[in-house]
Amino acid sequence: MSEQIEELVKAAVQKELKKIQAVDTSTGKTKKKTSPELDTTRTMGEHVQDPRSSTDCWPCMGKHIPKAGGNKWGQWLECDRCALRLKYTPTKGSPAEFTHIALPANVTRALNHLRSEGFTKEDCNNRLVKQTIKFITSQEAINSAKSSVNKAKALAKSKGYPKNAVEVSEIPIHSDEEDPMFEVISSEKKKSKAQESTSSET
């Protein structure tokens, strides 16, 4: 019980500290949060490559429900049903080079997946569509990794050794007589025997 009271006291103190920090000490007035200035010269519309931008695409069929969102890097309008980004305006000074764009093929697969699972357009919402696109994207990555592993296993099984190994049949085999060093060694042996016989005679 005492721990719960202590946590409540801490939370109350933190809340009061935030209030104090939000007050301008010179005037005693509450500071107003200023929104970052938008760079309207770099405003972008919806991506025409995205299948959701088509009037034939389920679930919106071109009739989107705009919903505003934003952060310190920019502000945007997204459809509250299909999650299509309708408009994006970066703030001044932000790079705006890493705005996320889902692959059209993954979007199509995600929407088809929702329909096959029995979802209606009324069931769809921004979060559901985004999570389904993420699921499909992850599934694609897993399938790609599985395919690479299976190919490597199949190759190793068919060969029975690593890809860069040398087959035994590829190693040159020859007799001593064919060895270029054989003549040199034989010649040295003959000289040694001749010297031995000469020294024994003397």
Q: What is the pLDDT of residues 39-79, one digit of tens each?
A: 999 999 999 999 999 999 999 999 999 999 998 899 999 99
pTM of the predicted structure, to 2 decimals: 0.56
Question: Would you call 196 helix, strand, or coil by DSSP?
Answer: helix
35 phi/psi in degrees, rounded to 5: -75, 145
Domain chopping of the chain, boundaries: 1-32
Q: What is the pLDDT of residues 16-50, one digit of tens each?
A: 556 655 555 555 565 566 677 999 999 999 999 99
CB burial of 88-125 (b: ≥16 within 10 Å; e: otherwise) equals bbbbeebeeeeeeebeeebbebbbeebeeeebeeeebb
Helix (H) or strand (E) holding 66: strand 66-71
DSSP state of 30: B
Looking at every residue in the chain, the average pLDDT score rounds to 77
- Reduced to 3 states (helix: H, G, I; strand: E, B; else coil), residue 81 is coil
